[in-house]
Structure 1
Amino acid sequence: MRESLRRLASDDAMAPRSCSGRVRVELLTGDHITIDVARKASGADLLDAICDDLDIVEKDYFGLLHVHRSDPRVWVDLKRRLSKTFRNEPWEVKMAVKFYPPEPSELNDEASRYQLGLAIRRDLIEGRLNCSTITYALLASYVLQAEVGDREGRVNVAMLTEHHAVPLQVITPDLEDKVDELYRKHKGQTPAEAELNYLENAKKLAMYGAELHSVKDSEDVDIELAVCAAGISVLRDGMVMNRFPWAKILKISYNKRTYTLRLRASEFDEFETHVSFKLASTRSSKRLWRCSVEHHMFFRREAPVAVERVSGWPRLGSRRVSCRRTLRQLRDPAAPHAPHAA
């Protein structure tokens, strides 16, 4: 894997400068590479080029992040030309997992599993994902087995930080002891086995694969909405207060700063209900709407649909979403393909 990264960086350094744009890419390993792209290259072209050099076959789980107006986590529109997304060169993006598979074991591609593991480790290190001390220790023990191999010597702070096994702020002598104890039990596991065990435990975390958005509820209280494979959750002070599974959501819309979910009537309700949230700006509201639509489309639909054709959707801003294939299509290559947009 790292040989491939070095080859890509070397090849790009030697490439002629005839292309119109240069992109600096931060990989999930923390390494940086620079790629020349054609004037008409789209976000999808860039993502495909990166995945090809990393030997990633299941590309549709991944996306590219960039900084936009001080927001560090804006997804690159895969269907839009890069030259229309960025201005000053080099254009800077980060490789990331956009759609976290509910069952990592279903990934057929070892490279995809490796990248997913790196993404989860980054989520933990950067505070987007939290867990108990014992879970931190268990996950760290699998990281060390995958990265270092069979245990030699005692686990220490240097090992845990070098391999980004846990956030620095959670490391204590007790945690080191627990990691050391668990690491010893993994003797004989191959890197691939240890990585899969890591993913199988990480998928059980409450916020695994969730994208968080800051909103206010009807009482003007600061909360968060977490969008993931299962649906949308409401969090307050880090605790899940409510969950709206995709099957319960009939419609997702936004109007200026207001984001609204229309919910199916339950067995105890006579009518459908609407739940609305306020965001800081229309741009934030649209970004949450787009994230929700893309996740619903990827995890629930047979194939991507052209959003502008769906009756009842609000006619505000762009209808374009970055979802090329759905989870069902990835699992079943014979599944129907997306219709063409109007």
Structure 2
Amino acid sequence: MKKSLVYLAVGMLIFTICLGSSLITNQAKAAEEYKISVVLKALNSDYWKSVKAGAEAAAEKYGVNLSVIGPNNETQVIQQINLLEDQLVKGVQGLVVAPLRPQAAKTVLEKAVSRDIAVITIDTDADFEGKTSFAGTGNFQAAEKAGKYFADILAGQGKVAIIRGAAGDYIHDQRVDGFMQGIEGTAVEVVSVQPADSSRGKAVNVMQNIIQSYPDVNAVYATNDEMALGAERALKSANQAGVKVMGFDGSPDALKSIRNGELTATVKQDSYGIGYTGVELMVKHLAGETVASEVPVPTFIIDQNNVDASIRDLTKAFSRDRLEVLFGEDVIAEVFAE
């Protein structure tokens, strides 16, 4: 009798182990079968390359089939819509999307949901029926931090020019409105708000025009780093020393400029974390887990005080060799020796 009980216990143990092993194998197999497409606003900047790196890291962790695509630049709204349409016939189970124009993308995103394709927005939210979740920066709140930072370093007064992304772009609307909220109640005056379509080259021309119209401007806030770097170039060419320039994104080029004493600051978005979180949420949703309707990714200000720590943090998205190309071998040696 005792032997029978022992044999039974051993048999149950073996069965449980085999069942557990089978479940794990089936879960891994299911994850590998997930086909997820990430559609970004563009692939031509270090910011979006970092988002892509985060998405790919999550895909590698969970063993999913991932593609990452995007238009040529952030003005190609129709191209992004066409890319989204293409994904609907490619058998994807999930779409992770950073919409260039949320309202313009609404129809195709709702079409995806109607075909049982889960949709998660990242970086920029969109309002449409059936959305699974949103992962990204609270752009208004982050820009409000930028406004308060500027009000502080300007001692509560000064003339600021704002260079923003394309007119009508929701994310850049939020970054302007939040900044205005941040300086409210101070003597900081916004003398001009002009679009430069998120382009460094266009920002050079816009800044040159601002200098002509407002030669006494003493600060510039740009709603992405590319435009901040363009503004800084124009100011340098015009020998306008002492004008404080702040960007938004925390790109490697911006960090390099801050470390060199050129740009004053940038609002750091965790671009890597945005990409990673978007794909991770999608995998969990496809596996049947309940995910939050909104997952905020933190932001903070980078200036001379914390720029080296922020450069070290870039190793999540870029190799040491790539950082040496971006910043120079001597700079990286100094940063990592600390």
Higher RCO structure, 1 or 2 (CA under 8 Å, sep 6+):
2
User: In proportion to residue count, which structure has more helix?
Assistant: 2
State the TM-score, normalizing by the size of structure 2: 0.28
State the TM-score, normalizing by the size of structure 1: 0.28
